[in-house]
Amino acid sequence: MTDLGMPDPKPPDPEVIGVRHGLFGAPGTGDTSGYGGLIDPITLPPSSSRPYGSYFDEIADLLEAELGDSYDAAVEKVVVFRDEMTVHVAREHLPAVALTLRNAPGLRFELCLGVNGVHYPGDTDRELHAVYPLASLTHNRRLRLEVSAPDTDPHIPSLCDIYPTNDWHERETYDFFGIVFDGHRSLTRIEMPDDWEGHPQRKDYPLGGVPIEYKGTRVDPPDRRRSYS
């Protein structure tokens, strides 16, 4: 209830970016999981409304004050979901926002725990996402940054100059998702062989029928493996 005794406004609906059929994302590869009939919408959480609760409002206020006039261009939305705060940032502003979060005395997110890739084929012109979990050792707080890029231009600025431990994490995300981290000193594959074609954790990567590097054989597609009744 609001302070005037009126019902709280209805929260915005999540953004629907697709529909999931079964548990496997790549079409035409079969589904032996037993959930082939599952139909479920693929949604992204909407922008959250103030107050966010916990220490999240203080972080938002401090970040807006530090960024000043560039805040509206840099921050696309703020999402508080399941007691976690994610700040969605325009990719060209990512280094400036990360540097501010690291250095501002009231923020002091000194530790970046790496970068995780996500592939949303239905999120048009934003198919590739990079998610950075941050921790403030000074203030004992957690925060996430999220940045997106289109499949047709999969470039995101590297944060290695700001968080040097991101070096191998960015290489892994490049290897598995194909996100190109501009400014990285040596953006090469770290898990797959150098001549491997494709990026294995993307939703459009085949689930079978791929040559095995060291055996000269193939992994059967799911529809040619053992099925479960």
Q: What is the mean pLDDT of the chain?
A: 87
Mean pLDDT of 75-79: 96
What is the DSSP code (8-state) at residue 44?
E
- At residue 212, does pLDDT exceed 50? yes
- At residue 68, does pLDDT exceed 70? yes
List pLDDT tens digits, range 120-155.
998 999 999 999 999 999 999 999 999 999 999 999
Q: Please tell me whether residue 88 adopts helix, strand or coil conformation.
A: strand
Q: Are strands 180-182 and 155-157 parallel, antiparallel or unpaired?
A: parallel
The residues spanned by each domain of the chain are 50-223
List pLDDT tens digits, range 88-101.
999 999 999 999 99
End-to-end CA distance of the chain: 49
What is the DSSP code (8-state) at residue 11?
P
Q: What is the model's pLDDT at position 42?
A: 84
Strands (E), the chain: 15-21, 39-44, 75-81, 84-89, 111-112, 116-119, 128-136, 141-149, 155-157, 180-182
Q: What's the CA gap between 173 and 175, in Å, rounded?
A: 5
Domain 50-223 architecture: 2-Layer Sandwich (3.30)
**Global model pTM greater than 0.95:** no
